[in-house]
Structure formats: C-alpha cells, structure tokens
Structure 1
C-alpha cells in the first residue's frame, strides 16, 4: 500500500515539485495551500494519487480539516513536509512594513509549529518523518534579515523535534537550500537551484531506511 506525504505550501515551487517527485516515487500526496485553483491544477497533473485541501496553515481549523481529510482519503500519514513560508516585500528591521513582518513570522514560525501539532498524532501512529523547509539564510548571519532569523528558528526546531520524535521511532529533518529558481527569488544570483533539486532531497529523507535518520540536507548552487 502506498505511503502518504502531507505537504504544505504545495501549490507551486518546491511544494509542487515535491508532490511530483513523491508520486513518481510511489507515494500518495495530500496537498495544502491557500490557492485552490493552483491546487486543483496540480491535482489534475498528478491524478488519483493526490488529494487537495485548500487552507491556511496559520489557522488551526484548516490544518485539522486537512489532516483528518488526508487520513480519511489515504488511511494515514507517513511523512509531512512543512514547506509553507514566505519572505518580506521589503527586507530590513527598520525599513520593513510591520504588518508584513508580523505576517511572515506568523507563517514561518507559528504556521510551522501548528503544522507539527496537527500532524504529529498521525506521524506517531506510523513512526513517520517530519521535514521542515529551512534555508541557507538559517545557517549564517545576514545583516538585518528577519527572514533569516525565522529560518534560524526552523533549524533549531528541527533539531529539537528530532530528539522528541526519536523517543517513539519518528524522524525529523530540515532541508536547507540556497537560492532556488522560484517566484520567491525574483532577483539575485544568476545560478540557482531548481525546485526539483530540493524535492529530490526531501524524497531522499523520507525514503531513507528506518535505521537512518537524515537530520539535515544543505543544498547550494554549484556555480
């Protein structure tokens, strides 16, 4: 019976690429994002192996609905990719818009924690794997980067979750890419990773044998 991967931020970019890679590897996928139209288009591409759950990961009711829906459709959840996140329209501590900053922190930190809270009871049943989207920005200091600070949280959270989940046979990992060729980066270095590169790393993590816990995959463009 195919295993099931639950993906947030699934409608485009890394999330959509991971959905394609997972289905190609024999997984079912439960896809959550705010854009219902994009999710439906992705579902049409993936066929019966995909179920969609439009919603916002900062809203507990949406997460619980998506989690229970995935279990009803596929019988359980074997892995979760907490991928939803965003940057700022104008970076910087003083120059950024305060509401924009609050929204980013709510999504990148609170939304991640809420995703874990909603899905951990199902992962406990399957001794499953939780993967968090970190960043190269969460591994080094960048002047004034509040976005980078949220990713430092993600990296710390992944390590702490790995220790917690290990107690009952689960695994937690962080996948940390540099610049990826998605709408998230509309400018910057000309040589970027592709979403498929990150997706392949996620599949490596969740397909690893039970005896092996991959804690972090750090990806950078090979210029």
Structure 2
C-alpha cells in the first residue's frame, strides 16, 4: 500500500507544490487548507491519490477530530508536513498590530502543535512516521520587523528538536526545513497586503521557489528509514545573513 502523507496549507505555494510532488512520487496525499475550491481543483488535476480535506489551522476542535473525520483507509498517516503558516506585517514591535501577532501565533505555533499532537500517537503506535515542519531562516537570523513571525519559526525549530529527543528509540523521524527568500507563493502578498510591494521584494533576485522546497521534502522523506535529517537551512545564492548592526550617534 502507498504511504499516506498529510500536507497542510496545500491550496497554494509550498503546500501545493509539496502535495503535487508527493503524489507524483507515489504517495497518497491528504491535502488540507481553508479554500475548498482550490483543493478540489488540485484533486481534479492529481486524481484519486489526493484527498482534499478542508481544515482551518485555527480551529482546534476540527484539528482534534481530524483522524475520525477521515475515511478509514486514509487514517494511518505516515508523513505529516506542517506547512501552513503566514507572516503579517513588517512593522517594528512597538508599532505592530497585536491582532497580527495573535494570528501568526495561532496558525504557526498553536495550530501546528495541535495537529502534531493529534497525529503523533498513531505514528508511535505503528512505530513509523515522519514529521516535516516548515520553519524559516527568520527563526534563526533576526531582522527589523521580523519580531513575532521570527519567534514563531524559532519555536518550530526548537519544537522539532525536542520531538526528536522525545522520540528516541521510536522509528518516527522529525525534520525542520528553514528556507530563506522564496518566491512563487502568496507569502509576501499576505504579509504586505499590497501586490506591488510584494513584487518589489523579488525584483532583481532569483529566489527559491515552491518546487525547490518540494524537491527537498521529497528527498528527505525518501531516505532510508534509519536516516533522520534533523534540520535543513536553505537560501538562494542571492541571499546571505545580514550580520550584526550598530547604531551610532545615540544619546546617553
């Protein structure tokens, strides 16, 4: 029987590319997201190997009831790809909207934790599985305006590391992928709420693209079951860490 993967945030960007790649690799994929029409379109393109399933990552009750809501033959999930997430705004902390912070925490942290906790016991009972989470270089390198978004991705990284410790002795693998500058998704449009400003982010660059992330996920989950990739940090060649900053001329 084909392995079963569940990919969150599969209506666009990374999630759509990952779901598509895993189906082509021979997996059966449960594609989740809030926009049912996009999930249905993806299912029409990829066939019966993809199961569209509407899921809001801010709906705890829906997440907790997910296993029982799936068709029985889709319940033994082998791979969970925690992809759903977002950034909102680039304002400095003292100017940011608290509602944006709450939304990012609810989706990037709470929703991811809830879904992982919901599916993990089944993986442990079957003594097989793989949890792949999409972190970010924003969780490693701080930058002005990154504040809570960066903090949520730092949480993802540390949560994955601690899961690996908790799962020592189990054949359940855990991986954090931390991409840098990525184009070809709705990330910047959502964050900046302005299509022109979002397009300007990528002007003159050759960023990572969703297919690059999908290729990475495909490689990680396809490795022999005794191999665990703890973390991958990836950037396009046009990007590097910014280094330390110094403010001069400050008053005492």
TM-score normalised per structure 1: 0.94
| Equivalent-residue separation in structure 1 for 2:6 and 2:54 (angstroms) | 13
- Asked if the contact 1:7–1:31 (Cα under 8 Å) also holds between the matched residues in 2, the reply is yes
What is aligned with 1:184?
Answer: 187
- Asked if the contact 1:82–1:112 (Cα under 8 Å) also holds between the matched residues in 2, the reply is yes
Comparing 36-45 with 165-174, greater Cα deviation is found at 165-174
What is aligned with 1:193?
Answer: 208
Over 3 Å counting, the alpha-carbon distance change for 1:56 and 1:93 in structure 2 is same
What is aligned with 2:40?
Answer: 40
- Aligned residue-pair number: 223
What is aligned with 1:78?
Answer: 78
What secondary structure sits across from 2:89 in the alignment? coil
What secondary structure sits across from 2:182 in the alignment? coil
Is there any run of 5+ residues in structure 2 with no aligned partner, and where? 189-197, 239-252
| Equivalent-residue separation in structure 1 for 2:232 and 2:143 (angstroms) | 20
Q: Cα RMSD (Å) of the superposition?
A: 1.6
The 5 A counterparts of 1:108-123 are 108-123=108-123
The offset of 1:70, in angstroms, is 4.2
Output one character per residue of 1:107-143: Cα deviation in whole Å (capped at 9) or x when no partner.
Answer: 1111110111111122222510000110111111223
What is aligned with 1:58?
Answer: 58
| Equivalent-residue separation in structure 2 for 1:85 and 1:220 (angstroms) | 19
What secondary structure sits across from 2:170 in the alignment? coil
The offset of 1:71, in angstroms, is 5.9
What secondary structure sits across from 1:84 in the alignment? coil
Which of these residues, 206, 228, 232, is aligned with residue 217 of structure 1?
Answer: 232
Give 1 or 2 for the bigger CA radius of gyration: 2
- Asked if the contact 2:90–2:145 (Cα under 8 Å) also holds between the matched residues in 1, the reply is no
